[in-house]
Amino acid sequence: MDSSVPVAIVMIGPPGSGKGTQSSKLSAFLGIPKISTGDILRQVASGSSRNSEEIRAIMETGGLVPDSILADLVTSRLSEPDCKKGFILDGYPRNIDQAIFLESLLQVKNYKLLVVEIAVPEDVLLKRVTGRFSCRVCGAIYNKYFLRPRNEKICDQCGSADFAYRSDDNELVVRERLREYTLQTLPVLDYYKAKHLLVSVDGNRSLDEVYDELTCHLSKVL
């Protein structure tokens, strides 16, 4: 890969698609930061900057942070030295206006843009999310449909019998999250597809298979 070309990778995928895991793997492989707007917002909300109180109030009520505030935060983060050779964006853009703003920002900085959609069938996503649980002691992650412990009541990693299930990992909540994702994201995918910037990857495979395809696509554009 041509390291002289800074790359901006936008990762798009529904809850349970493995987007976050793949973003982290690509970040380590390329030596560029993974930037999550959710992490940025939580960090700002816990601080005492001029936007902290407003963002904290919005997040507590489940509202959407205004595009103008997100634009300022993204611009500031992308100006940091570790983004000089590129970055991976997770969670932004989520609407057409954000996509247009990001594109204008990247043109000024002369980044190569690649947008990656990790596509997974809804029935598989439901099982991935509603079936997951973890060990309270060591954090090992399991799934009652795809990755059970060898012994049903004992963690493979540490031998603990104490498992945790997230209360929001139920079918009604997950279906609503998927519905919101579809409403928000389909226009963004269409926008990037029309510009020939979108690559769609089949996420209904093993993590290694998905990762291999992602690096293959990257090798063709960088």
Q: Which residue in 19, 25, 77, 127 is the catalytic one?
A: 19
Q: Which amino acid is at 124?
A: V
The mean pLDDT value for 137-157 works out to: 93
- The upper half-sphere exposure of residue 204, i.e. CA atoms within 13 Å in the direction of its Cβ, equals 9
Start-to-end CA span in the chain (Å): 5
In this prediction, residues 68-91 reach a mean pLDDT of: 92
Q: Model confidence at 62, in pLDDT bands (50, 70, 90)?
A: low
The Cβ of residue 160 has, within 10 Å, a number of other Cβ atoms equal to: 14
Q: Determine whether 166 is an active site residue.
A: yes
Q: What is the pLDDT of residues 158-203, one digit of tens each?
A: 999 999 988 778 888 889 888 888 888 889 999 999 999 999 999 9
Catalytic residue among 136, 175, 177, 205: 177
Domains of the chain with bracketed CATH: 7-121+179-221 (3.40.50.300)
Q: Is 84 a catalytic residue?
A: no
d(CA 13, CA 91) in angstroms, rounded, equals: 9
| Residue 136 known to be catalytic | no
Closest CA to 43 of 10, 15, 65: 65
Q: What angle do CA 16, 111, 195 make, to 5 degrees?
A: 65
| pTM of the complete model | 0.83
Neighbours of 115 (CB within 10 A): 22
Tokens 């090798």 belong to 219
Q: Is 205 a catalytic residue?
A: no
94 is a catalytic site residue: yes
What are the respective helix, strand and coil percentages of the chain, to the nearest 5? Answer: 50, 20, 35
| Catalytic residue (one of 34, 77, 94, 127) | 94
**Catalytic residue (choose from 109, 166, 179, 195):** 166
Share of the chain above pLDDT 90, in %: 62
46 CB burial (10 A radius; 0-12, 13-18, 19+):
exposed
* Model pLDDT, residue 31: 93
